[in-house]
Structure 1
Amino acid sequence: MTNHLIVRGAPQEYICHEGAWATLPTHLTRRKIKKLLILHGNDSWEAAKPYFPDLKNFEITFEYYGGICTDTRVQELLTLFQEIDAEAILAVGGGKISDLAKQTAHQLRCPVLILPTLASTCAAYTPLSVMYFEDGSMDRFDIFPQANALVLIEPAVILSSPRKLLIAGIADTLAKWYEGDAIIRQLDSLPVEVQVAYFAAKNCRDNLLTFSNDALKAMETKQINEAFLTVIETNILLAGMVGGFGDEYGRTAGAHSIHDAITMIPESHHQLHGYKVAYGIFVQLVIEGNLTEIEQLLPFYHELGLPTCLADMNMSFSEEDFQRVAKRATIPEESIHLLAQEISPDVVVQAMKQLEELMKDTTH
């Protein structure tokens, strides 16, 4: 770990309230943006259209993002952007669309504006992109020196998103505490930036354990409540603040390294990012010897349907799979080495196997 922190605390502007998307034309005018490349998904765009504002006074080009976030797709978008002589990129959708837009905008040195349709990651908030290989396995994440220009959150859009995607976001955000705490508690003193990250990480855990069930009820009744607003802003804003202020002291540790490694297994690709991270939290806790925390989290996991073991993800590892995943999870650049424990492939294999045994005795 380095002693030199870079704070990337927030987008240039962030707004979350009902009717936020309707203010987009005003924000474009304020920024003197007239030509836009709009990246969107398929399902997410159908959900977004009823709330998407009229941009008749702007020159816009709509482009389906392609379902991937790869360097090849970025190159295609660079060409398109230059062909249409656009001035900014607007991402409407989930995490991969946001990451694709941010990476493309970084290379173009243009503003990126994000209208998230999900609260499944903090991608809309953070100035980084997770990049993937063509086969769907994770390649790397790139951190950018410029903040996202604008984030507009329309709660009504997220209210109608799939329930499982909010749950995935809850799991991904829960990891902010377990990964951040594992790193930060090793420090002898906490710089002010890290204090902010630690505060945000703890509030991620506290908010989610307190409000998640009521937030999910809001999705069932299609009625926005305070719990729902708290959870979506926890998943996006608070989660983004952890890494934004803590830098490598608050970004990822063991849980995400396990996630990254599992993406090598093709059978994992049908699992949402947050669900794999949820499993990774438990593997990390086994590595740390913190079985008490697993026991305390189990009711919450069961209520939300989060995976506690491989079987919960409809996966079964051969010995070769265990070894491949453990080897990938412990490559030198992975954040699992930020844990206090001595990490090796064998440590990870034993933790995954121990978790399987522990969960055999648990009622699902």
Structure 2
Amino acid sequence: MEPQIIVRAAPQEFICRPGSWGSLEQHLQKRGIRRVLVVRGNRSWTAAEPYWPQLKETEVHYHVYSGECTYRERDVIAGYASEHQLEAVIAVGGGKITDLVKSAAAQLKLPAIILPTLAATCAAWSSLSVMYDEQGAFIRFEVFASSNALVLLDPAVIAASPSELLAAGIGDTLAKWYEADVIIRHLEAPPVEVELAWDAARRCRENLLRYSSAALAAVRSGELNDALTRTAETIIMVAGLVGGFGEDYGRTAGAHSVHDALTAIPETHRLLHGSKVAYGVLVQLALEGNWPEIDGLLPFYQELGLPTSLKAMGLDHLTREELLKLGERAAVPEASIHMMPRLITADAVADAVAELEEYITAGQSQTKGASIL
């Protein structure tokens, strides 16, 4: 296992402070950008519009995305920006809008500027896009040579977002530690870049266990506090550093492979990305036989409303044959689950899912292990 390491540590510029969106036009002018395409959603725009600055000296075009990060949607955005000779593409929204903008900007070799409305993934930080098909099933992720030009994170915007999306972001970011650690701890002499990724992954876990409860309370009350700012920066910045420094050693392992497999089941399309990844963490730990860690995580999951079982996701009807299909998708040859230091087969994944289900359903976790909170 010798993946090539190319450090893509950070966007060119990152600003996190209340009111940071107000400096957008100033940053555009510094770059000589006068004509932009803003890609936005519908629901997210309703919440974000009060924070959107007046761009008095900039020609602004808008595109409302269709709801999925697909190549067809990417090509529509790139085609429009090219036809109108626009000079930058701006994302105002969550992870899928952000990934669309990064992919379109990379195709056109234009700056990608990100104004997150959610703290649900590290998409605003990372120089890659996760692509799906029209039905919402995962296809692949693509890594770009250019970093994002600018990220303006306004914690006040995050405070106005739905609490369940923040909880999903916490679940997705918690996976950074478990997926990086299962890979890196088995390396004899990790390169310095990978050690930095490992440190960042550990910081993700520590920050989330410390600040998540207060951050969620802030979002539920629509208020901004220090815990929310720290949680948002952890989800977007610190998590982004893990893959930025570690590349394949710090990006994904078993949890995201389980997520990717789940996206092929139509019933899971209503579930948030981070919720499926959080469940994938438990499956990965079951594959490792690390039941004490599962026991420790369960109270945290329950507090945040993250799924701990197939039943919690409405999937307890899956047959053994369907679990094997899930395992086959999770263990395709190119899947990151094979970064784990053991042979992973479809049977192994299906067995881990079934064993986890039995463990959670039987309530054995109440008599084993201790909370990590």
User: Which category describes the TM-score, using the shorter chain as reference length?
Assistant: over 0.9
Q: Which amino acid aligns with 1:324?
A: K
Q: Which residue of 2 aligns with 1:196?
A: 196
Q: Which amino acid aligns with 1:49?
A: E
Q: Distance in 1 between matches of 2:328 and 2:69?
A: 24
Q: Distance in 2 between matches of 1:108 and 1:114?
A: 16
Q: Secondary structure in 2 aligned to 1:269?
A: helix
Asked if 1:261 corresponds to 2:281, the answer is no
Q: Which residue of 2 aligns with 1:352?
A: 353
Aligned residue runs from structure 1 range 174-213, under 5 A: 174-213=174-213
Give yes or no for contact 2:259–2:276 (8 Å, CA) kept in 1. Answer: yes
Q: Secondary structure in 2 aligned to 1:39?
A: strand
Deviation at 1:3, TM superposition (A): 5.2
Q: Distance in 2 between matches of 1:293 and 1:232?
A: 25
Aligned residue runs from structure 1 range 166-315, under 5 A: 166-315=166-315
Q: Which amino acid aligns with 1:350?
A: D
Q: Distance in 2 between matches of 1:309 and 1:100?
A: 31
Q: Which residue of 1 aligns with 2:66?
A: 66
Deviation at 1:148, TM superposition (A): 0.2
Give yes or no for contact 2:3–2:248 (8 Å, CA) kept in 1. Answer: no
Deviation at 1:68, TM superposition (A): 1.3
RMSD: 1.1
Q: Distance in 2 between matches of 1:138 and 1:4?
A: 24
Larger CA deviation: 78-87 vs 20-29: 78-87
Give yes or no for contact 2:33–2:88 (8 Å, CA) kept in 1. Answer: yes
Q: Which residue of 2 aligns with 1:339?
A: 340
TM-score by length of 1: 0.98
Q: Distance in 2 between matches of 1:28 and 1:2?
A: 40
What is the CA deviation profile of residues 219-277 of structure 1, one whole-angstrom value per residue up to 9, with x for unaligned ones? 12322111111100000000000000001000000000000001000000000000001
Give yes or no for contact 1:197–1:244 (8 Å, CA) kept in 2. Answer: yes
Q: Distance in 2 between matches of 1:3 and 1:110?
A: 28
Which segments of 5 or more consecutive residues in structure 1 lack a partner in the other structure?
A: none
What is the CA deviation profile of residues 167-219 of structure 1, one whole-angstrom value per residue up to 9, with x for unaligned ones? 00000000000000000011001211011101100000011011100111111
Q: Which residue of 1 aligns with 2:370?
A: none
Q: Which residue of 2 aligns with 1:325?
A: 326
Q: Which amino acid aligns with 2:117?
A: T
Aligned residue runs from structure 1 range 79-98, under 5 A: 79-98=79-98
Q: Which residue of 1 aligns with 2:371?
A: none
Q: Which residue of 1 aligns with 2:46?
A: 46
Q: Which amino acid aligns with 2:335?
A: E
Q: Distance in 2 between matches of 1:91 and 1:147?
A: 14
Q: Distance in 2 between matches of 1:290 and 1:36?
A: 49
Q: Which residue of 2 aligns with 1:26?
A: 26
Q: Which amino acid aligns with 2:266?
A: P
Q: Distance in 1 between matches of 2:265 and 2:195?
A: 37
Q: Secondary structure in 2 aligned to 1:90?
A: strand
Q: Secondary structure in 2 aligned to 1:114?
A: strand
Q: Distance in 2 between matches of 1:109 and 1:158?
A: 29
What is the CA deviation profile of residues 117-155 of structure 1, one whole-angstrom value per residue up to 9, with x for unaligned ones? 000000000000000011110000000010000000011
Paired residues, what number? 364
Q: Which residue of 1 aligns with 2:369?
A: none
Q: Secondary structure in 1 aligned to 2:90?
A: strand
Q: Distance in 1 between matches of 2:29 and 2:2?
A: 41
Q: Distance in 1 between matches of 2:340 and 2:4?
A: 19
Q: Secondary structure in 2 aligned to 1:36?
A: strand
Q: Distance in 2 between matches of 1:4 and 1:330?
A: 22
What is the CA deviation profile of residues 71-116 of structure 1, one whole-angstrom value per residue up to 9, with x for unaligned ones? 1111111221122110110000000000000000000000010000
Larger CA deviation: 199-208 vs 69-78: 69-78
Q: Secondary structure in 2 aligned to 1:341?
A: coil
Q: Distance in 1 between matches of 2:63 and 2:290?
A: 47
Q: Secondary structure in 2 aligned to 1:61?
A: strand
Q: Which amino acid aligns with 2:49?
A: K
TM-score by length of 2: 0.96
Q: Distance in 2 between matches of 1:248 and 1:4?
A: 8
